[in-house]
Amino acid sequence: MNFMRGSFFIFIILFYLSCSNKKTVNLENLPIELLTEELSIKPSEFLYNINLDSFDYVTQKIKWGQSFSDILSRNGVSNQTIYNATNAAKEIFNLKRIKKGNNYTLFFKKGTKQLSYFVYESSKYNFLICELHPNVSFKKVDKKITYLERQISGTISSSLYVSFADNGYPIDLVNLMVDVFAWQIDFFRINPGDSYNIIYTEEIIDNEVVGIKNIKAARLSHDNKPYFAFAYDQGLGNDFFDEEGKSLRKTFLRAPLNFYRISSKYQKKRFHPVLKRYKDHLGTDYAAPRGTPILTVADGKITEASYGRNNGYFVKVKHNNIFTTQYLHMSKFAKGIKPGKHVKQGEVIGYVGSTGLATGPHVCFRFWRNGKQVDPYKQNDLPEGDPVLPNHRNAFNYIKEKYLNLIIADSS
Ligand SMILES: [Zn+2]
């Protein structure tokens, strides 16, 4: 927090200095803090690593239909130089992908119309710099990212999403939270009064938050029971563990899609929307836009990838001697999906569609246990991921204590 406020303050001063036309600032009239800040800060003389003592610059946005060569030729660059620059770009960036609305900056040799550099903001994380004079070169530069740990908390009145929106918290964090606690908490059953603390890492570039790197720790209290998650990597990638070091992950994904809405749960005697009669619904329907990737929920081997009049295009995956899963109504299979192929958890096996007996695009997900279709969310004994291993206990406990203390301090 202090860091952000400090940076913002510095930014204001730099902004003030760069906007001020008056060459002399009357230092006596400035407040004391401003004076000391100003004396200790050297105003930046570089933009995109280019020394502004030698160049004038102008920043604009790419207009509709505007190309790299349009911009250069409009600014007096010769066809030969444009040709050389385009060639130099080839291995680095496809110039056809220059996007309308993105910023670019032109650097002219001070006091002249000689265009020396073209800089294009290719993304939040990097920029392209093309030198045009005296030499021609092209390179991609990664911006410096700083990371800041932040802590937020709140109480839920209707849903996690609404609470985040009300508090102005980053909405991207909602999906990360749902992922972390996917097997512990049914986010469709969050109650008013449930509360949360989250410690996460923000990515900052040029004093601006550009994204979220990850969640470090979280608490979610549901029906007065606290659930904890601590991020830890024991050499198998980042994973989440509870306060006892047990994995929060199961060997199954909670759902075969990343973003979805459950449109029909597993239930006996459901009124079938197409057949117009009561029938058991032994799967869970996930509604999602046509073409959304469908993921296998666990490692396994494909036993069927075919078409049925009711099921449409479907894939069946055998995970072991006990568990098998099935995914119906696909618009198409993913590349290379056929019986006998081994798949990894989270691998794309097909795409959402409405083939077979379906009213709209969705996946009907079926979960088989010992040859019987069951409700996956009622299976309380699904195998868990590995707990924190003995040789990692001390390191994990250290991290856990650190974050637990921060969460407790924030909650009291
Ligand atoms: Zn279904």
Q: Residues 112-162: pLDDT tens digits?
A: 999 999 999 999 899 999 999 989 999 999 999 999 999 999 999 988 889
Distance 329 CA to ligand 1 centre (A): 9
Q: Where are the domains of the chain?
A: 146-241, 261-378
Distance 188 CA to ligand 1 centre (A): 19
- φ/ψ of 172, rounded to 5, equals -55, -30
Give yes or no on whether 146-241 and 261-378 have one common fold. Answer: no
Distance 281 CA to ligand 1 centre (A): 6
The domain defined by 261-378 folds into: Glucose Permease (Domain IIA) (2.70.70)
Distance 258 CA to ligand 1 centre (A): 18
CA dist 87 and 82 (Å) reads 9
The 10s digit of each residue's pLDDT in 67-89 is: 999 999 999 999 999 999 999 99
Distance 283 CA to ligand 1 centre (A): 5
Distance 38 CA to ligand 1 centre (A): 66
pLDDT above 90: residue 319: yes
Q: What percent of the chain has pLDDT over 90?
A: 61
CA dist 248 and 177 (Å) reads 12
Q: Would you say 305 and 333 are in contact if contact means Cβ atoms under 8 Å apart?
A: yes
Distance 369 CA to ligand 1 centre (A): 17
CA dist 215 and 151 (Å) reads 10
Out of 2.60.40.10, 3.10.450.350, 2.40.40.20, 1.10.10.10, select the CATH number for domain 146-241.
Answer: 3.10.450.350
* Nearest C-alpha neighbor of 221 from the set 172, 160, 179: 160
Q: How many Å from the N-terminal Cα to the C-terminal Cα in the chain?
A: 20
Phi-psi region of 163 (alpha: psi -120 to 50; beta: other; left: phi over 0): alpha
Distance 365 CA to ligand 1 centre (A): 7
Distance 327 CA to ligand 1 centre (A): 9
- For residue 23, give the H/E element and its range: none
Question: Tokens 């979220």 appear where?
Answer: 212
Give just the sign of the alpha carbon dihedral 18, 21, 23, 27. Answer: negative
Distance 284 CA to ligand 1 centre (A): 6
The 10s digit of each residue's pLDDT in 185-235 is: 877 678 899 999 999 999 999 888 999 999 999 999 998 899 999 999 998
The 10s digit of each residue's pLDDT in 160-199 is: 889 999 999 998 898 888 888 877 887 767 889 999 999 9
Residue-by-residue DSSP string for 252-271: S-S-SSSS-EEEE--EEEEE
Residue 153: CB atoms within 10 Å: 15
pLDDT, residue 159, reads 87
pLDDT above 70: residue 305: yes
pLDDT, residue 32, reads 52
Q: Would you say 254 and 188 are in contact if contact means Cβ atoms under 8 Å apart?
A: no
∠ CA 385-391-392, nearest 5°, is 60
pLDDT, residue 226, reads 93
pLDDT above 90: residue 59: yes
Distance 330 CA to ligand 1 centre (A): 12
